Amino acid sequence: MKFFADTADTAAIRELAEAGLIDGVTTNPSLIHKAGRDFIEVTKEICALVDGPVSAEVVALDHPTMMREAETLRKIADNVCIKVPLTIDGLKTCRALTGDGTMVNVTLCFSANQALLAAKAGATFVSPFLGRHDDNGWDGLDLIRDIRLIYDNYDFATEILAASIRHSVHVLECARIGADVMTAPPAVIKGLANHVLTDKGIEGFVADWAKTGQTIPLD
């Protein structure tokens, strides 16, 4: 499963990229607002930090204006992936862009039927929102399972990009189900390394090593 960082914080992206922990980045208007930087400038910087797809979202709601915004965004870098909402106009834009060889991430997916439409429109990625689905009384992981089953039934090429990831259990279960990608905040990705027994083991090794009175020579 590929890992994308869901952030516009370039320092956090750089840290994860240097550790080899991410394969791409997703952004949205809310994350750009939180970063407090110019949209085009920060997107360009992010694209230079990672080799994989960087989702940059259009903000228009109608197809013609989405296409004009997408034209501006895809000039930023070769690895820009245009992010569009799962609406009829968004799907029209998806079809037009993917037909021209541009990567498209269809976002705000909350049902398997919506995901089916995204695949029919040729989406590179579809982004079902687990956490928000859970917040509204549904099981977000069941949504991932349904989409996985449907896509496998018909051999759709669209990749399932599990979004609105809240914690490590979401990551684990998405991997078990077979999501192609998951996108999560940097803190969630880094938190996957944490385990109380790892911490205890390190404490024990450090204490025992100190008792030997030895050091490892540094060049």
Report the catalytic residues: 83
Any idea what DSSP says for residue 164? S
| Dihedral pair phi/psi, residue 193, rounded to 5° | -80, -10
Whether 49 contacts 4, CB under 8 Å:
no
Distance CA 211, CA 213 (A): 5
β pairing state of 125-128 and 159-162: parallel
Q: Look at residue 24 and give its three-state secondary structure.
A: strand
Identify the residue whose tokens are 């991430």.
Answer: 105
Distance CA 149, CA 164 (A): 20
Distance CA 194, CA 59 (A): 37
Whether 10 contacts 34, CB under 8 Å:
no
Distance CA 8, CA 26 (A): 8
